[in-house]
Amino acid sequence: MQPQPAYLLHKQPYRETSALVELLTLEHGRVRAVAQGVQRPSSRSRARLQPFAPLHVTWVGEGDLKRLRLMETHGSAAMLAGEGLLCGFYANELLTRVLPLLYPVREVFAFYAAVLDALPRPEARAPALRRLEVAVLEALDAEPRFCDLNDAELDPHRRYVYRAEAHRFEALDVGAGGGLDGRTLRLLAQGDWAAPGLAGPAKVLTRAALAPLLGNTPLRSRDLMQRLAARRRGN
Amino acid sequence: MSFSPLVDRLLEALRVLPGVGPKTAQRMALHLLERDRDGGRRLAEVMARALEEVGYCRRCRTLTEEEVCELCRSARRDERLLCVVESPADMLAIEDAGGYRGQYFVLHGHLSPLDGIGPEDIGLDQLAARLDEGGIEEVILATNPTVEGEATAHYIAAQLEGSDVRLSRLAYGVPMGGELEYVDGGTLSRAFNGRLPFSTE
């Protein structure tokens, strides 16, 4: 096979000197593989096989668990630190949790690469993560349709809650608080996920849409970020 | 053919050790039984005692059978310096390298959300308590230069925000005797960013 562009999502030590890895690849989506010998102290791949580094890989094997063969880096890993690093963990955890194995998701790969570019810049993080989340939802046919439960257009003067199981919005009673307002949703419908002022609603919406895909186990990296934020406020 | 039940159990027990497969286990067991029973008895005795008695030091969390380890009790160590490491092996490596005269704190792991390892699993509350006791002027974050080590350092740094403890992180660099051509790109670019003024001394 031709070497595949890939990113390492997660690495776990396996036996003495090997590792179990999860990769996001351009043409094959999420791939799980054994990387033999990479945990050896003398292994040159040990330092190269790191999350957030652009890789080229090949593998062999028929089943769900492949054997990683060739692994090269091209360019160096995004230099992530602090908050950006935690956002990177979030992206990795999200993809390992919701993407099925060997399900091709080219758009997700592209948006993931864009997230890595954006992470070192604090103001670019949230929009890039939202675009990735939307790409994931689209790849899994779970993206929100911007209409109400009866397929009618959203009214800019009403408020709505997202019904993830129907992929549509339910109108709240006139005058009721909470939910998202129709005007904002119409802006989001135009694909303007990065527009200023929409960051909050966009996050609420993608989170609601991802919730059924994640099931009952919360994302640990999100939990970690929230605890860190809480600790900061405490100081 | 298989050995008697007890010998088989010994073979199986030996395989809990890292790097020991069936063949190695057999070689070890036969060696102990046929050639060195005294050594085997000594091994069994020491192992039983160590597993029973060795715990974590109350101050630095390194492995010790004492309440507070020797290094923490030592009057010759600088109590104003605290070096945070991921494992007792890292602590030993820094001690062997020499030059550091302060104290340690061992996390026994790193933050790894994807493996479900959070702050409470690596003793960060205990670290905070240790810092609250006061007297520490500099915390050296010597977690590994991996993404998890970096995240751990970030979390500890956030914990310390607002206190007047000085924080430092181990530098990234090119290995001694290394050739730039063979250094991986990530290390090289970080070494570049962290370059130091040339000193003629």
Task: Using CA coordinates, name the residue in chain A closest to B117.
Answer: A220
CA distance A176 to A149: 18
Length of chain A: 235
User: Count of domains in chain A?
Assistant: 2
The pair of structure tokens assigned to B125 is 């509350």
What CATH number is attached to the domain comprising A13? 2.40.50.140
The number of helix segments (H) and strand segments (E) in chain B equals: 8, 6
Rg of chain A, C-alpha, whole Å: 20
A151 domain-assigned: no
What is the band of B73 on the pLDDT scale with cuts at 50, 70, 90?
Answer: very high
A66 with A102, same domain: the answer is no
What is the value of pTM for the model shown?
0.86
Size of interface A-B (CB pairs under 8 A): 77
CB contact under 8 A, A12 and B115: yes
**What pLDDT digit, counting tens, does each position of B95-150 carry?**
999 999 999 999 999 999 889 898 889 999 999 999 988 899 999 999 998 889 99
pLDDT at residue A235 in the model: 55
ipTM value of the model? 0.82
A173 domain-assigned: no
Domain boundary among A17, A50, A73: A73
What CATH number is attached to the domain comprising A187? 1.20.1440.120
Query: Tokens 């009721």 label which residue?
Result: A176
A194 domain-assigned: yes
A69 with A86, same domain: the answer is no
Residues of chain A with pLDDT under 70: 75-78, 234-235
pLDDT at residue A157 in the model: 85
Average per-residue pLDDT for chain B? 91
DSSP secondary structure string, A152-208? Answer: PPPPTTSEEEEETTTTEEEEPPTT--SSEEHHHHHHHHTT-TTSTT-HHHHHHHHHH
Which of the two residues, B193 and B47, has the higher pLDDT score?
A: B47
Q: Is B153 helix (H, G, I), strand (E, B) or coil?
A: helix
Domain boundary among A73, A92, A108: A73
Query: Tokens 């089943």 label which residue?
Result: A63
Q: How far is CA A197 from the centre of its chain?
A: 22
Phi, psi of A143 (to 5 degrees): -75, 150
Q: What is the DSSP letter of A218?
A: P
Domain boundary among A49, A73, A97: A73
CA dihedral B27, B14, B56, B166 (to 10 degrees): 60
Task: Using CA coordinates, name the residue in chain B closest to A16.
Answer: B19
CA distance B68 to A85: 35
A89 with A67, same domain: the answer is no
Cβ–Cβ < 8 Å for A146, A186: yes
Q: What is the DSSP letter of B107?
A: -
A89 with A134, same domain: the answer is yes
pLDDT at residue A130 in the model: 92
pLDDT at residue B188 in the model: 84
DSSP secondary structure string, B48-61? Answer: HHHHHH-EE-TTT-
Cβ–Cβ < 8 Å for A17, A64: no
> CB neighbours (10 Å) of residue B130?
20
CB contact under 8 A, A235 and B190: no
Whole domain around residue A60: which residue ranges?
4-73
What is the band of B1 on the pLDDT scale with cuts at 50, 70, 90?
Answer: low
A155 domain-assigned: no
A132 with A192, same domain: the answer is yes
A132 with A225, same domain: the answer is yes
A123 with A191, same domain: the answer is yes
CA distance B31 to B39: 10
Helical axes A182-189 vs A199-214, angle rounded to 10°: 80
Q: Residues 155-184, chain B: which have Cβ within 8 Å of A? A: 155, 157-159, 161-162, 184
Q: How far is CA A182 from the centre of its chain?
A: 26
